[in-house]
Chains A and B, each alone.
Chain A
Amino acid sequence: MKLRSRLAVLATVPIVLAACSINVYEEGSFAGGGGGGGGEGAAVNQEPDTGEIAIAGAASGDEANAIQGVIDEGVNDVQDEFTATYTGSDSFEQNVIIQIEGGTPPDIGFFPQPGTVIEQAAQGNAIALEDMGFDIADLEARFGEYLMSLGEYEGKHYGMPDTVNFKSAIWYNVPAFEDGGYEIPETWEDLIALSDQMVADGQTPWCIGTGSEAATGWPATDWMEDIVLRQAGTDAYDAWVAGELPFSSPEITAAAESFGDIIFTEGYVFGGAENISSTDFRDAPDPMFNDPPNCLMHRQATFIPAFFPDGVVPFEDYDFFPFPTIDGNEGVLMAGGLAAIFSNRQEIVDFFDLYTSADVQCLYGKQENTTTMGANVDVSPDCYTQNELIGQASIPLAEAIAAGTARFDASDLMPPAVGSGEFWNGMNEYTNDGPDNLEQVLADIDAAFPSDGGGGGESEAPSESEAASESEG
């Protein structure tokens, strides 16, 4: 009894402070304030419409303008029930956690990392699409089963694909390829042979830079993912992402060694492997356009031409080819966004019905200064009138999605301690210190996995063994 009275008094401070009405909650009923709601047992469309839909996401600047442009033209202008507003922020991933935990999530979050969506589902913050009244079969027809599966948690779907990007592109200097008579490589062996030929011709084949301030190392993880996807295959890739196939396994070790064949072969990389992590990824392709070029090829996602020097012309000065097959395995590495929903309203369902339709997603092709693609599989390459390169890139991506060989960026799917932490660090150590430490590097990455073997946020308590294995490193 004593305790009880004291508890009440402790809370007296704000009551007096506010001098307004007091709500007494039953224990446990406080679920994080407005919006949160929680997954289980939420009745369909339980909240009234407001006419305003707030969307937050990581894409900012021109990419944000593109998203808002699509929403305006395809959604806001075609009905007058509601208006959707997108707000992009560089620090979205931190801010949204603060907002969700603080009880004021946006209505919709466009998350670049599907792992975050799963975490929010596991914590009961995100609302299942099933509970919103979406038809999953219909959505799978729009996006393909693979993309929909990325947001799946305990049998329900929480992630609505919002945009996609093509990552498996190798950019090259067109005049230099013509002068050297170089052929576009179809297979990994061709790629190595081409690199050797360039070295023999006195050229440097590759420009690689993974510097990205706090995220330094991520472009190297893309290289690894492109190789794993083709060399080990999609099943191994999925197992790797899920934490079931460790980094120290023969498959992943082999992929790292193949990557090593590129970066550690004498004369392959401009500046040498030791300068890879010191070179900013935005500056990395620049030497490809020096006269004479310092390198002839650069592997990076489709956003990179925005950082090419002024005045270089697509198709004339540069072009890209898809990352070659390995052992005959096809595959395409992609990225994009999954939308998680934090507010259960009919207008949000209506928003997505419009936004994800092929006609509206096609509008991405008309936006300026963006390389974002519509996530709907029925978006035709002809949509991309602003940027033909993107239209070209959309073809292999659509084919791979149809064939089931497209895979999402693994580092965005792994638990953040790995995918946004030790995987990057490990790649930096690998490129800086050379091939000798590979075994240790891979073991260190494995050690960063939460002890339950991955799968997002609901990890158990860090066990003794994990702490022990970490201290070994």
Chain B
Amino acid sequence: MSDVLSPQQQAGTDEEEVYRPPGPRRGSGIVVFILAVIAAVAIPALFFVALEATFEFMESQNLSPILTGFVAILIAVFGVFGVYTAVDLAIRRLPGTLSERVRPYAWAGPAVVILLIYLVYPAVNTIQLSFLDATSTNFVGWANYEYVFTDPAMLRSLRNTLAWIFVVPVSAVAIGLGFAVLADKLRRLESLAKSMIFLPMAISFIGAGIVWRFVYAFRIEGSGEQIGILNAAWTSLGNAPVDWLSINGWNNLLLMVIMVWLQTGFAMVILSSAIKGVPEDMLEAARIDGATEVQVFWRVVVPNIMSSIVVVFTTMVIGVLKVFDIVWVMTGGQDGTEVIAERMIRNMFTFRDFGRGAAIAVFMFIAVIPIMIINIRRFREEESIR
């Protein structure tokens, strides 16, 4: 990570701190770095200034808000591409190999610069807060981390989150992949069928919460008709109604079902487009060799889309680590359904203990390292094949 920060740091530090890569290009290293930083910063800066100026101009003209919005959209949409193009043109005029060496930073740099502000800065801030007390006034050492690993509710949340990580991504990827493959063979109704799986993604979270409350709703026997479909089905079989979301253990699984319902569409869309990217001739070659469809799937399709599967899986694991709204809305983390992100939000905004909330967030940063290692390995493999 130090490498990433280096453009910013090195540009301003004194000579002796600058790390110089060994090799023939030694002399121009600093020049490249300075130019790289300028390019990386210039793109977001130019874009920002252009937008800000537009807004100010439009406001000073007292135009209708609809027109202002429309023009702003145009500038935002085309301006960002235009700024990249302009900076690229400028870089082309750099002498010799310099332009080729600076250009990558102008392309990748702006993303890094924006992330430095929007995510790295808050992350650093969070790490700092995690060593301070509830109101961020006194240094408390490791006390907040001790809380993360000793508080009974925290321990339950760690256990539950682990279960979520095992259940949700696997189920969503399996269903999403299976459905993408099957729907792919439908042709005529493929688009419609896929839309139905995708549908939950379009439902706002508030909507999803209501939908599932109606699935799991419970009423005491004898106090009126069951309005939850699960209990209606259950009682029609002659059983007593069950408060599904308060049965320890099962309630966690029922919450995971909601996440799978919501997220399978994501897996399906990404994997479906990956499947469609598998070259036709490979599939045909396999079939000509006498492979069954199942064999084609496992030996041709899956290896070909492996990188997409890893990507979807990674995204889901991280999504699950951060999941809190399902739990928040359905059970509020009661009856043993705590998850770590829910604990983080609860500590920060309900208990207003920023130190503990931050410590949980830092734990989340660390928990994702194993999955990042898998990605790094895959990234390296891909590079070496090329």
Direct contact of A and B (CB under 8 A): yes
User: Chain A interface (Cβ within 8 Å of chain B)?
Assistant: 2, 5-6, 8-10, 12-14, 16-19, 93-94, 97-98, 116, 119, 122-123, 213-217, 270-271, 275, 277-279, 283, 286-287, 290, 294, 415-417, 420-421, 424-425, 428, 432, 450, 457-463, 467, 470-471, 473
The 0/1 profile, CB within 8 Å of A marked 1, for residues 177-204 of chain B is 0000000000000000000000000000
Decide: B353 and A417 in contact? CB cutoff 8 A: yes
Decide: A467 and B8 in contact? CB cutoff 8 A: no
Decide: B138 and A460 in contact? CB cutoff 8 A: yes
B372 within 8 A of A: no
Looking at the complex, which one of B14, B139, B150, B220 makes contact with A467 (CB distance below 8 Å)?
A: B150
Looking at the complex, which one of A13, A93, A283 makes contact with B41 (CB distance below 8 Å)?
A: A13
Looking at the complex, which one of A217, A279, A471 makes contact with B220 (CB distance below 8 Å)?
A: A279
* A13 touching B135 in the complex, CB below 8 Å, given contacts A213-B330, A462-B140: no
**Which of chain B's residues have a CB closer than 8 A to the CB of A279?**
219-220
Q: Which residue of A lies closest to B154 (CB)?
A: A470
**Which of chain A's residues have a CB closer than 8 A to the CB of B113?**
13
A-B contact pairs, 10 of them (CB 8 A): A12-B12, A13-B116, A16-B41, A18-B48, A97-B348, A216-B332, A277-B334, A416-B352, A458-B137, A459-B134
* A471 touching B243 in the complex, CB below 8 Å, given contacts A5-B13, A287-B223, A462-B140: no
B295 within 8 A of A: no
**Which of chain B's residues have a CB closer than 8 A to the CB of A463?**
143
B1 within 8 A of A: no
**Which of chain A's residues have a CB closer than 8 A to the CB of B224?**
286-287, 290
Decide: A467 and B223 in contact? CB cutoff 8 A: no
Q: Which residue of A lies closest to B219 (CB)?
A: A283
User: In the bound complex, what is the Cα–Cα distance between A278 and B245 (angstroms)?
Assistant: 8
Decide: B152 and A473 in contact? CB cutoff 8 A: yes
Decide: A420 and B14 in contact? CB cutoff 8 A: no
Ranked nearest first, the 3 interchain pairs of A and B with the lowest CB-CB distance are A214-B332, A9-B12, A278-B243
User: In the bound complex, what is the Cα–Cα distance between A2 and B243 (angstroms)?
Assistant: 63
The 0/1 profile, CB within 8 Å of A marked 1, for residues 133-174 of chain B is 111011111011011001110000000000000000000000
Q: Which residue of A lies closest to B48 (CB)?
A: A17
User: In the bound complex, what is the Cα–Cα distance between A16 and B44 (angstroms)?
Assistant: 10
Decide: B243 and A119 in contact? CB cutoff 8 A: no
Looking at the complex, which one of B49, B143, B243, B332 makes contact with A213 (CB distance below 8 Å)?
A: B332
**Which of chain A's residues have a CB closer than 8 A to the CB of B292?**
none
Looking at the complex, which one of B17, B246, B330, B333 makes contact with A277 (CB distance below 8 Å)?
A: B246
User: In the bound complex, what is the Cα–Cα distance between A470 and B356 (angstroms)?
Assistant: 14
User: In the bound complex, what is the Cα–Cα distance between A467 and B147 (angstroms)?
Assistant: 7
* A214 touching B333 in the complex, CB below 8 Å, given contacts A93-B349, A275-B243: yes
**Which of chain A's residues have a CB closer than 8 A to the CB of B147?**
462, 467, 470
**Which of chain A's residues have a CB closer than 8 A to the CB of B350?**
93-94, 416, 420-421
Q: Which residue of B lies closest to A421 (CB)?
A: B351
Looking at the complex, which one of B14, B133, B137, B334 makes contact with A5 (CB distance below 8 Å)?
A: B14
Decide: A270 and B220 in contact? CB cutoff 8 A: yes
**Which of chain B's residues have a CB closer than 8 A to the CB of A425?**
334
The 0/1 profile, CB within 8 Å of A marked 1, for residues 249-269 of chain B is 000000000000000000000
Interface size on B, residues (CB 8 A): 56
B328 within 8 A of A: yes
Within the complex, what minimum Cβ distance (angstroms) separates B129 from chain A? Answer: 11
B85 within 8 A of A: no
Q: Which residue of B lies closest to A12 (CB)?
A: B12
Within the complex, what minimum Cβ distance (angstroms) separates B226 from chain A? Answer: 12
Within the complex, what minimum Cβ distance (angstroms) separates B13 from chain A? Answer: 6
B24 within 8 A of A: no
User: Chain A interface mostly helix, strand, loop or mixed?
Assistant: helix
B83 within 8 A of A: no
User: In the bound complex, what is the Cα–Cα distance between A2 and B9 (angstroms)?
Assistant: 12
Decide: A461 and B243 in contact? CB cutoff 8 A: no
Q: Which residue of B lies closest to A98 (CB)?
A: B349
Decide: B12 and A270 in contact? CB cutoff 8 A: no
User: In the bound complex, what is the Cα–Cα distance between A283 and B213 (angstroms)?
Assistant: 14
Decide: B133 and A459 in contact? CB cutoff 8 A: yes
The 0/1 profile, CB within 8 Å of A marked 1, for residues 299-339 of chain B is 00000000000000000000000000000111111110000
Decide: B152 and A470 in contact? CB cutoff 8 A: yes
B11 within 8 A of A: yes
Decide: B12 and A8 in contact? CB cutoff 8 A: yes
Decide: B133 and A461 in contact? CB cutoff 8 A: yes
Decide: A290 and B150 in contact? CB cutoff 8 A: no
**Which of chain A's residues have a CB closer than 8 A to the CB of B21?**
none
The winner among B42, B223, B350 for most chain A CB atoms within 10 A is B223
B4 within 8 A of A: no
Decide: A470 and B352 in contact? CB cutoff 8 A: no
Decide: A428 and B220 in contact? CB cutoff 8 A: no
User: In the bound complex, what is the Cα–Cα distance between A216 and B144 (angstroms)?
Assistant: 26
**Which of chain A's residues have a CB closer than 8 A to the CB of B143?**
461-463, 467
Looking at the complex, which one of A2, A98, A270, A416 makes contact with B14 (CB distance below 8 Å)?
A: A2
Looking at the complex, which one of B49, B150, B349 makes contact with A470 (CB distance below 8 Å)?
A: B150
Within the complex, what minimum Cβ distance (angstroms) separates A222 from chain B? Answer: 17
Q: Which residue of B lies closest to A115 (CB)?
A: B352
User: In the bound complex, what is the Cα–Cα distance between A279 and B246 (angstroms)?
Assistant: 11
A sample of 6 more A-B contacts (CB under 8 A), given A214-B332, A428-B334, is A5-B13, A10-B9, A93-B349, A94-B350, A421-B346, A459-B133
Within the complex, what minimum Cβ distance (angstroms) separates A310 from chain B? Answer: 14
The 0/1 profile, CB within 8 Å of A marked 1, for residues 5-23 of chain B is 0001101111001000000
User: In the bound complex, what is the Cα–Cα distance between A275 and B221 (angstroms)?
Assistant: 10
The winner among B140, B334, B345 for most chain A CB atoms within 10 A is B334
**Which of chain B's residues have a CB closer than 8 A to the CB of A457?**
134-135, 352
Looking at the complex, which one of B135, B218, B331 makes contact with A458 (CB distance below 8 Å)?
A: B135
Decide: A294 and B222 in contact? CB cutoff 8 A: yes
Q: Which residue of B lies closest to A3 (CB)?
A: B13
Which residues of B229-256 are within 8 A (CB) of A? 243, 246
User: In the bound complex, what is the Cα–Cα distance between A100 and B318 (angstroms)?
Assistant: 29
Within the complex, what minimum Cβ distance (angstroms) separates B51 from chain A? Answer: 12
B45 within 8 A of A: yes
B117 within 8 A of A: yes
Looking at the complex, which one of A8, A97, A216 makes contact with B352 (CB distance below 8 Å)?
A: A97
User: In the bound complex, what is the Cα–Cα distance between A16 and B113 (angstroms)?
Assistant: 12
User: In the bound complex, what is the Cα–Cα distance between A135 and B197 (angstroms)?
Assistant: 63
Within the complex, what minimum Cβ distance (angstroms) separates B201 from chain A? Answer: 23
User: In the bound complex, what is the Cα–Cα distance between A9 and B13 (angstroms)?
Assistant: 8
Decide: A213 and B329 in contact? CB cutoff 8 A: yes
User: In the bound complex, what is the Cα–Cα distance between A6 and B11 (angstroms)?
Assistant: 9
Decide: A214 and B134 in contact? CB cutoff 8 A: no
Within the complex, what minimum Cβ distance (angstroms) separates A22 from chain B? Answer: 14
**Which of chain A's residues have a CB closer than 8 A to the CB of B332?**
213-216
**Which of chain A's residues have a CB closer than 8 A to the CB of B144?**
462
Within the complex, what minimum Cβ distance (angstroms) separates B249 from chain A? Answer: 15
User: In the bound complex, what is the Cα–Cα distance between A424 and B117 (angstroms)?
Assistant: 39
Decide: B150 and A10 in contact? CB cutoff 8 A: no
**Which of chain A's residues have a CB closer than 8 A to the CB of B49?**
19
Within the complex, what minimum Cβ distance (angstroms) separates A32 from chain B? Answer: 12
Decide: A13 and B349 in contact? CB cutoff 8 A: no
* A275 touching B220 in the complex, CB below 8 Å, given contacts A9-B9, A467-B146: yes
**Which of chain B's residues have a CB closer than 8 A to the CB of A461?**
133, 138-141, 143
